[in-house]
Amino acid sequence: MTALLGVWFGIGLMIDAWAHTNLAELETFFTPWHAVFYSGFAVVSGWIIWQVWRNVRAGRQGPAAVPFGYLAGLLAVPAFAFFGLIDMLWHTVLGIETSLDILFSPSHLGLIVTMLLIITTPLRSAWNAPDVGAQPSLGRLLPALIGLAFATTLVSLFLSYGDAMQYRPVRIVEAFSAVNEPGADRLALAMVVTNIILLSPVLLLARRWLLPFGSVTVMYTLAVLMPGAQTEFKNVPVLVSFVVAGLVSDLLIRWLRPTGERRAAYWTFAGLSGLATWSLYIGIASATGGGLPTVPELWTGAPIIAGLIGLALGALFLPNAAGSEKTTPDTADDTADGTAGAAPRTVDAERA
């Protein structure tokens, strides 16, 4: 339920992002898209608060009344409301942003950080839940996947100036057909930024669980919705390339079985996933955008760089196999049976 209501919240932000990107005349804070966005916040925050209140009525007190993994989201609810008020005052005094400045507004940055904490509540709930296990089913992990995927869209939104998913096929071909134009530099940099944004959440999950087939496809399908909304889905072939890349990444997971205990497989997956994603990006753009770019070094080398960055991310996320990490006294009981030790369940969840 928390994940489903978070979808309402996230879709509301996408509608608002579409409006700010594509509508030139925005003169008021009180708009239909703000209504969808803030009503999404109201329902998901109301649900979180209700869960805590229900536990209080059942006799739980203090942190014990907060459901497993919900503490950060609960604390973010009043913070988001505060930044929403600041945002309304900001727009009233300074007007409505419709360009790059919207991504640097302090009130918007406050909203996006607190929203990220709220929308990732299902992920924190699942992280150490005793019924999830090391190899969860897709259905059991789906709320966590949805929460983290929408969090990824928030990051991509506020790094839109470096988002390769917003390029159209023709523009990709044109950019990599000239080395003396700024288009090639911008696209190459956008590919690096987007590669990190997309792959990092997948590697975070793969370090924790052996991901069930379909996990990356679900995440990448949701991730393309934000750039799709911003471009009014005028670059569908490029967006489809990422959905296909998610499927390829799922096949790589089934083949390599990367986990925190299998460092070599984890690193291999990280590199091959990046290479495959951006090879598909260039390939599908070329097939639908008028042919291969004319500078072979660019269109052949860019996916290789993406693969190397993926490998570097893999090494950063998992420098040592999980089984070789030292177990501290505070976590000795946790590693023995996969559940929390003597400390309260909620505190352990937030610490994790």
Is 159 among the domain residues? no
Both 172 and 307 in one domain: the answer is yes
> pTM of whole model > 0.75?
yes
Residues 6+ apart with CB under 8 A from 192: 305, 306, 309
- For 238, the token pair is 């490029």
Q: Last residue of some domain: 129, 151, 178?
A: 129
Please tell me the distance from the alpha carbon of residue 322 to that of residue 326, in angstroms, as a whole number: 9
Both 217 and 300 in one domain: the answer is yes
pLDDT given for residue 40 in this prediction: 83
Is 265 among the domain residues? yes
Is 205 among the domain residues? yes
Both 118 and 175 in one domain: the answer is no
Chain centre to alpha carbon of residue 331: 28
Q: What DSSP letter does each residue of 105-149 carry, written as one string?
A: -HHHHHHHHHHHHHHTHHHHHHHT-TTT-SS--HHHHHHHHHHHH
Is 223 among the domain residues? yes
Is 330 among the domain residues? no
Average pLDDT over residues 94-99: 66
pLDDT given for residue 29 in this prediction: 56
Is 36 among the domain residues? yes
For residue 212, what is the DSSP state? Answer: P
Where helices occur in the chain by DSSP H, the ranges are 2-22, 32-57, 71-94, 106-119, 121-127, 138-158, 169-175, 182-208, 215-223, 225-230, 236-256, 263-288, 296-317, 332-337, 345-351
- Domain range for 58 is 1-129
Both 123 and 172 in one domain: the answer is no
Both 91 and 16 in one domain: the answer is yes
Both 119 and 251 in one domain: the answer is no
Both 104 and 53 in one domain: the answer is yes
Mean pLDDT of the chain, nearest integer = 85
Both 96 and 203 in one domain: the answer is no
Is 338 among the domain residues? no
**Residues 298-350: pLDDT tens digits?**
999 999 999 999 999 999 999 998 765 444 444 434 433 333 333 344 434 34
Q: Last residue of some domain: 100, 129, 158?
A: 129
Is 333 among the domain residues? no
C-beta separation of 145 from 220 below 8 A? no
pLDDT given for residue 333 in this prediction: 40
Both 317 and 180 in one domain: the answer is yes
**Residues 205-221: pLDDT tens digits?**
999 999 999 999 999 99
- Cα atoms found within 13 Å of the Cα of residue 347, Cβ hemisphere only: 9
Chain centre to alpha carbon of residue 317: 16
Both 24 and 116 in one domain: the answer is yes
> Structurally, how many domains does the chain consist of?
2
